[in-house]
Amino acid sequence: LVHCPFLVLQTKGELVAGKETSVIVEFTNPLKQTLENVTLRLEGPGVLRTIKKQFGRIPVNSTLTWEVKFTPMRPGVRRLIASLNSDALRHVYGELNIQIQKP
């Protein structure tokens, strides 16, 4: 039984319009093999422009952590979406709804 792996997103600090904060994307490789040619992508409509980052490889059972700083401009509920692709594993997703406060 292979559980569909997923990305875990969490924000750090308070979410206030106009103030820099960051989101952390975590992924643990569940396969019995090293993942090669890993690409992570993070998007947040209305919050941050799409960012892509290449990671060479993720060994078996190891966890990748990616922190991205961003400054939300408008208050309200937004969604952050992360996705991961690699040679052996494709379309791994994670998402997080965030509430941006008024300054």
Quickly count: other Cβ atoms within 10 Å of residue 83's Cβ: 18
Give the integer Cα–Cα distance in Å for 26 and 67: 9
Assigned domain for 1 exists: no
Q: What is the per-residue pLDDT across 73-88, written as a single tens digit (0 to 9) for each?
A: 999 999 999 999 999 9
Question: Does the predicted model carry a pTM greater than 0.85?
Answer: yes
CATH no. for residue 48? 2.60.40.10
Q: How many domains does the chain have?
A: 1
Give the integer Cα–Cα distance in Å for 72 and 48: 7
Q: What is the per-residue pLDDT across 23-41, written as a single tens digit (0 to 9) for each?
A: 999 999 999 999 999 999 9
**Domain region containing 72:** 8-100
